[in-house]
Structure 1
Amino acid sequence: MSIRHGLLALLDRGPRYGSRLRTEFEARTGGTWPLNIGQVYTTLGRLERDGMVVQEGADEAGRALYALTEAGRAELRAWFAGPVERAGAPRDELAIKLVLAVGAPGVDVRRVVEAQRRHMADALHEYVRLRARALTGAPAEHPDELARLLVLEQLICHAEAEIRWLDHCETRLLRMVRGTRPEPPPP
């Protein structure tokens, strides 16, 4: 997640101070990507240095307000218009763990797979519960609730995909243990 672009998107609604940006960011992402307030102010400092935001006075409590510049708006429009690059495989700790467990002395890879599957099944259950609660709460037409639902549904899809991949890994491991090869696909 680009914190930089997330803050620009929030500032597009009008001037904000740092802790309000943090609160709004976490609300929009359903609390799944918490921000450290230091990250917010460091990012605001860089955005200011790059001419994307300016300090625009202070609120009644004396907190510095940041506002989007025209360069910031142009950057935000370009970000929304372009795709998210998925070049190169991400470094995935689970994949690294499994490939290193294969053939490691004293490691039962199937137990590693099963422990991860149980963990993801529990996480999936929690995401589905949170989605159900969100659907019975505030109207999904509200932007913050819609954003929260989209995040929860993305987490559900990722958890389901990881469980499918773990099932595939287990099948592959069982074939290896039994010394069988998968049947070749029909011509």
Structure 2
Amino acid sequence: MSVPKAFLALLHERPMNGNQLKSEFEVRTGATWPLNVGQAYTTLQRLERDELIAPMRDETDESEIYRVTDTGSQAVRAWWESPVERTRPARDELAIKLTLAATSPGVDVRTVVRVQRTESMRMLHEYTRLKAEATEGSERADLSWRLLLESLIFQTEAEIRWLDHVEATVIRESRNMAAPANEIAAWLSENERSGKR
């Protein structure tokens, strides 16, 4: 998630201070990725250092108000016009957990998958409920919230499909590993009978 780019886009709309940016970011994203005030001001310092924003003093407010610079405006336009690159996937705790579970002795991967599927289904129902509530409104913030919820719904549906795939793969692999063991046991049994004759 690119908080600096999001802040630039918000400042491109109007000048704001750190608290206003934090609040606006959380409203527009449905507080899905809450920020702390320190993170907001650290981000502003980096954007100012890179000359993408500039402070301006508001006589009615003690806090510093920031505006986007020409360079910052160009950066916002470039962000809107460029795709989000997926060259380095984000760390996914669930993927890490399941890949480790699948290769760790004594771990019942099917149980891990079932527990996660239950949680994913719970979240899918929650996102669907929230989307139904958000659909009743028509404000701009509601639109961004609905779009975000739809993204979360699609991601969760994909996660559930992937969990089904993981479970099927683990079952198939355990059968494949059991087949040679069964063949060896049958061979040993046959040899024992042959040796007794």
Q: Structure 2 length normalisation: TM-score?
A: 0.86
| Between structures 1 and 2, the one with greater helix share | 2
Q: 2: CA distance between counterparts of 1:169 and 1:58?
A: 56
Q: Aligned equivalents of 1:173 and 1:124: distance in 2? A: 24
Match of 2:185 in 1: none
2:45 counterpart residue number: 45
- Residue 83 of structure 1 corresponds to 83
Residues 19 and 89 (structure 1 numbering): CA distance in 2 closer, same or farther, change over 3 Å?
A: closer
For residues 38-76 of structure 1, the C-alpha deviation after alignment (integer angstroms, 9 at most, x for no partner) is: 111001111111111111112523121111110110111
Q: Does 2:171 correspond to 1:171?
A: no
1:112 to 1:153, Cα distance in 2 relative to 1, 3 A: same
* Unaligned stretches of 5+ residues in structure 2: 178-197
Is 1:34 the equivalent of 2:34?
yes
Question: Residue type of the partner of 1:10?
Answer: L
Q: Does 1:154 align with 2:118?
A: no
What amino acid is aligned across from residue 88 of structure 1 in structure 2? R
Higher relative contact order (CA 8 A, sep 6+): 1
After superposition, residues 1-187 of structure 1 pair within 5 angstroms as 1-58=1-58, 60-136=60-136, 138-139=137-138, 142-179=139-176
User: For the residues of structure 1 that align with 2:33 and 2:2, how far apart are their CA atoms?
Assistant: 11
Show structure 1 runs of 5+ residues with no match.
181-187
- Give me the whole-angstrom Cα distance separating, in 2, the residues matched to 1:103 and 1:60: 61
User: Does the CA contact (< 8 Å) of 1:59 and 1:65 recur in 2?
Assistant: no
The 8 Å contact of residues 56 and 67 in structure 1, kept in 2 or not, is answered as yes
The amino acid across from 2:150 in the alignment is E
Please identify, of 89-98 and 64-73, the stretch whose mean Cα deviation from structure 2 is larger. Answer: 89-98
Across the two proteins, how many residue pairs are aligned to each other? 177
4+ residue segments displaced more than 6 Å = none
Which residue type is aligned with residue 129 of structure 1?
A: R
Shift of 1:36: 1.1
Q: How far apart, CA to CA, are the structure 2 residues paired with 1:144 and 1:106? A: 48
RMSD, matched Cα: 1.4
Larger radius of gyration: 2
What is the TM-score of this pair, normalised by structure 1?
0.90
Q: Which residue of 2 aligns with 1:183?
A: none
> Residues of 2 paired with 1:83 and 1:17: CA distance?
28
